[in-house]
A and B are shown apart, each in its own frame.
Chain A
Amino acid sequence: MKQKPRVAVFDFADCEGCELEIADLEEEVLDLLEIADVVSFREVMKEHSDDYDIAIVEGSIMRPMDEKRLRSIRNHAKILVALGACATMGGVNKIRNQWMPDEVIKEVYGDTNLKGNELFDVFQTKALNEVVPVDYYVHGCPIDRDEFKSVITAIALGKKPDIPRYPVCVECKKNENICQFELGSFCLGPITRAGCKAICPTHNSPCEGCRGLIKKAETDCVKEVLERYKLSYEDIRRRCTMYNYGRKECSYDE
């Protein structure tokens, strides 16, 4: 076998929950260490190297200083992987994009004068691919550990990861759940990309759309659900208050 790829993990604006999901693999992290060397992972290790092949990047981009750091990571890495909703599509951080940055700064920090302070020099939230090219995506808020393992294994072995193109409803049906609409709840499963094992409906809660929107054409397979509850794609799209702010359907490269 050729040399193991060197992996580095980085984070921007987010909750670091997706990195924690990696730590929560527990003993299985050791299996991943068989196929890749971790050379930088600030949240859990002091060691650091700028010599890496694969960068796994979590979080959204909020400021020019973040853009600069992300570009430098992109330049070092052969492959860049966006980890979790904040990185893949801006996540909950995009909720604030319905207002201008000056307005949200005022709401949270009051009248304090923050002009000229680069730490507060925020623009509207960006996903990673609005700044640099992204090679692969691990979706979700948080990510699914099993999916992470399979994506990283595929990349480390030089293969293309297999990401579902069908909606959450497919996995939800497989779990034999009662439909959330049947229970009086408004679920985003019909328009959201699967891969999470329909975890929210399985715990009797509606899908919030954290894995991004599938292509509109693909909603054909859940037409029945939409017809039964007299919903159009646009109706259900308007329910996206937590994720997918200002976002169109996914490209399949994501």
Chain B
Amino acid sequence: MSKDFSVHVEHVTRVEGHGNIILDVKNGKIEKLQWSIVEAPRFFEAMLRGQHYNELRPITSRICGICSIGHSLASLKATEDALGIKITNQTTTLRRLAIHAENMQSHILHIGYLVAPDLVGAGSVFSMLGKHKDTVLKIVKLHRLANEMSDLICGRTIHPIRLIVGGFSLIPTEKQLIELKKRLLEAQELTEELAPIIQSVAGALPSFSRETEYIGLTSNEEYALYQGDIASTDTGRHPAHREYKEIMQEYIVPHSTAKYAKHARESYMVGALARFNLNSKQLHPVAQEVANLFKLKAINYNPYMNTIAQLVEFSHSIQDSIYLIDTLVDQGIKQEKPVKPMKKAGRGVGIVDVPRGILVHDYTLNSKGYCTKANCIIPTNQNHANIQKDMEKLVPEIINRPQKEIELTLEMLVRAYDPCISCSTHYLDVSFK
């Protein structure tokens, strides 16, 4: 059939940051199809030069409001790697709680506020209030709890305060942790109520599949978030963490304005679905039940299921947090002095798997402890190429549908990746004509 139309979505809504979708079709053929980023570049790596190692964490936290805890943790791990600091077990446990808190906060924000409106045909969570008030209130309650948990562990959800080089500036009391555990148990009940509600409208998620590579952290001990080796569904484990550039290879495609990343194939995906595909066996049984409810099994090649993988992880984070709190309370929690550096100069690499995927900070410090070189590999950047490749397979499959539907399906695809464009703006839109 011959058909001419254009879909130009300027500034896709309900995602973090500014991105555009451009689709031009002439005589039923795709002339142009592009996922492009128009956010202003912010130059964080340049700004870190000359900063003292204690300042790197607070500054890089400001890369992103949604994943500021994740950036903080990657930053601290890189700094501590450079300075030869070995943190205590208590600090590790508290940081694992911090990453769960952020995972929960970020995931429920995405599931409830950004994606759910699409599932029920609303424009925003505000317009869901009429028909779906109960569901919205459940989501709000869970979001509030995740934020309060972040506040308790990190001092603040957005731009944490207590996370410092070598440990914590302040820690929660035993009483506060026990209270938090009670709230987490309530959250589990709420999640059990919410999951079937989402399942009942999950039919609105497009059924689409494209085989690709998935990259994330993996660990023998746990469902990896705070620590582990880099792993790929294509090539297995890569334990040399400082050699991350061999896995996360950036390249530029002349006909596109966005920078891409690839490894074994022409693109790969990071984030909740990637972690699920790599590590689903290590999920808590309660979280596995949530996966079963949606018939989500590894390996799943439907990017729209990333949102469901987030719900599964949300449930896992509740369970693992309860376990971590029990561990802290059993061992007795006490304020520790931050561990002092063994040396000043050196290079350090910190890798964590944050809500949107695997994140790397890489710093070089001089003999006075000031940063001379910095590099950050952001999850969303690693997904841009995969989004583009998905669109290239998806559009021909839906090209005969009404234009509004094509537009919504593409927007939903971008949203499914939960892109965090502010994060990714030191890499953007290089035009090669």
Contact = CB atoms under 8 A, between A and B. Distances in A.
Interface of A: 11-21, 23-24, 26-27, 33, 38, 41-48, 62-63, 66, 91-93, 95-96, 99, 103-105, 107-109, 112, 114, 117, 119-120, 122, 141-142, 199-200, 203-205, 208, 241-242
A62 B124 CA distance: 29
Contacts of A119: 38, 40-41, 257, 428-429, 431
A45 B114 CA distance: 8
A200 B59 CA distance: 14
Given A13-B425, A43-B14, A104-B47, 11 more contacts: A13-B40, A14-B65, A15-B68, A96-B47, A105-B41, A108-B41, A108-B426, A117-B430, A142-B159, A199-B156, A205-B169
A141 B62 CA distance: 8
A62 B40 CA distance: 7
B162 to A, nearest CB: 5
Contact of A45 (B58, B124, B162): B124
B48 to A, nearest CB: 8
A11 B65 CA distance: 13
Given A43-B14, A47-B124, A242-B55, A142 B428 contact: no
For the complex of A and B, the 3 pairs showing the least CB-CB separation, nearest first, are A17-B65, A45-B124, A203-B155
Interface of B: 11, 13-18, 38-43, 45-47, 49, 51-52, 55, 58-59, 62-66, 68, 109, 113-114, 117, 123-127, 137, 140, 143-144, 147, 155-159, 161-162, 164, 169-170, 252, 257, 422, 425-426, 428-431
A93 B59 CA distance: 10
Interface-central residue, B14, B65, B66, B126, by most chain A CB under 10 Å: B65
Contacts, number: 162
A103 to B, nearest CB: 8
Contact of B126 (A15, A38, A48, A203): A38
Given A17-B159, A24-B147, A38-B126, A92 B62 contact: yes
5 contacts: A17-B158, A20-B158, A96-B43, A117-B430, A119-B428
A107 B426 CA distance: 10
A108 B46 contact: yes
B13 A205 contact: no
A107 B42 CA distance: 12
Contacts of B13: 42-43, 45-46, 48
A206 B13 CA distance: 37
Contacts of A241: 51-52, 55
A45 B123 contact: yes
Contacts of B143: 24, 26
A108 B14 CA distance: 28
Given A26-B140, A107-B49, A199-B155, A13 B162 contact: no
Contacts of B428: 119
Contacts of A21: 65, 158
A119 B429 CA distance: 7
A12 B158 contact: no
Contact of B127 (A15, A42, A47): A47
A13 B42 CA distance: 7
A44 to B, nearest CB: 6
A200 B16 contact: no
Nearest to A63: B40
A199 B14 CA distance: 30
B161 A205 contact: yes
Contacts of B43: 96, 104-105, 107-108
A43 B159 contact: no
B335 to A, nearest CB: 9
Contacts of B66: 15-17, 20
Contacts of B51: 241
B68 A205 contact: no
Contacts of B155: 199, 203, 205
Contacts of B123: 45-47
A26 B55 CA distance: 31
Contacts of B425: 13
A91 B40 CA distance: 15
Contacts of B147: 24, 26
A26 B47 contact: no
Nearest to B12: A42
Contacts of B144: 26-27
Contacts of B422: 14-16
B271 to A, nearest CB: 18
B65 A19 contact: yes
A130 B15 CA distance: 28
